Structure formats: structure tokens, C-alpha cells
Amino acid sequence: MNEHPSLWLDAYLDGELPVGKALIVEAHLAECADCRALLAQRRDVMRLLQEAEPANGLKPAGRFVAEVELHLSRPRLPERRKPMLSLLWQFAPLALILAWVFVMAVSIAGTVLAFFPDPIQALAGSLPALQESSHLAVLFDSGWGRLALEGIDFLGPFNILDWSWLTSLAARAGIGFLYLGWLASWLASHNQHTIIEGE
């Protein structure tokens, strides 16, 4: 080997070189006085380094441990998977938005239909095409369709078609409040993760 294995010398000295490479280095050292001198110098450096004292004047172990304990909060346990809850949590804002849109739509439709004495007939009558040929007209006139629509009356205060503008407003405000609550908890959770990852 003609080239000096300078980079390998430290690994050789530390016993970290594979056997094959160690044999190559040994063969080279037998012939190269410069590398033998370099190796001796490395040994001296290591000897000097070992003379350096460890940290002095440290706190007693008990005090050190007690100070660490003061800063210990509860550790984060491994997260257990809760797929259903997690899924519901992810879809909560979408569901709330849809509910809000639904209440809005029903509120607007209810306001419009309030102008007509018989909303079902008015709806069917306003759509001649439906009245003539569509199955919807048949549905409106059929006993089952009428029963389904009139059955809403049994819902009492939960009958969304009978809500006043104030009830509708309160419902929308409630949904908005729930959405803001979800948003606030999501932001709090997101910030906590960011702080921990940034440590």
C-alpha cells in the first residue's frame, strides 16, 4: 500500500477497523515511519485528553435529582387509537356546517311557503310540469306523501318547518357556537403539539 491510510489510523487505534483493513494498516505501519510517528502522536493526544478533569463543584446528586423532579409534569403516554372518535372529531366541523346550511335552507323555504295558504298544493301547482307528468305530483297527492308531510306536526317544537325566525336564529347561533368551540379546541391542541415538537 503506497498511500498513507491516515483516515484509517484513528479507527485502527480505536479497534473499530474491520479485520481486513486492520491488517492492511498493520502492514503499512511496518514499512512507514511517518505513519508510525502519526500513530504515536495520536496516542499522546488521547493521553492528554484523558488528563482533562470532569466537571467540578457539582450539586449533590440528591439536590440535582430533586430539581429535575420539580420540573416533571405527567409524561405523554403512548396514544391509544380511537378510530371512531377520531373520525367523528374530524367530521364534526363538516357536519356542523351542513347542519347550519340545512337550517338556513329550511328557514328560507319556510318563509317563502308561509305566503301560501296550502304550501303543498302551492308547491305542486307552481310546477306545472311536475303536476302533469312527474311522479312527484302523484306523491304529493298520495295518501303516503301527505301522511309523511303532515306527520311532521307530531314533532311539536322539533318540527323545523314550524320554527319561528327567532328559533331558527337560535338554532343557527347554537351551531355556530359549537363550531367555534371545536375550532378553539383544535387550535389549542395544534399549538400544544407545535410547542412540544419545537423543544
Q: For binding to other proteins (CB under 8 A), which residues are involved?
A: 6-7, 9-11, 14, 16, 41-42, 44-59, 61, 64-65, 67-69, 71-79, 196, 199
| Residue from 85, 87, 86, 73 nearest 196 by CA | 73
In whole angstroms, the minimum distance from the beta carbon of 156 to other proteins comes to: 51
Q: How far apart are CA 169 and CA 171, in angstroms?
A: 5
For residue 11, give Cα distances in angstroms to 4, 50, 124: 14, 18, 91
**Cβ neighbours of residue 82 under 8 Å, at least 6 residues apart?**
none
Q: How far apart are CA 26 and CA 12, in angstroms?
A: 9
- For other proteins, which is the closer residue by CB, 75 or 117? 75
In whole angstroms, the minimum distance from the beta carbon of 185 to other proteins comes to: 22
In whole angstroms, the minimum distance from the beta carbon of 110 to other proteins comes to: 53
Q: How far apart are CA 41 and CA 33, in angstroms?
A: 12
- For other proteins, which is the closer residue by CB, 36 or 172? 36
- For other proteins, which is the closer residue by CB, 47 or 135? 47
- For other proteins, which is the closer residue by CB, 67 or 118? 67
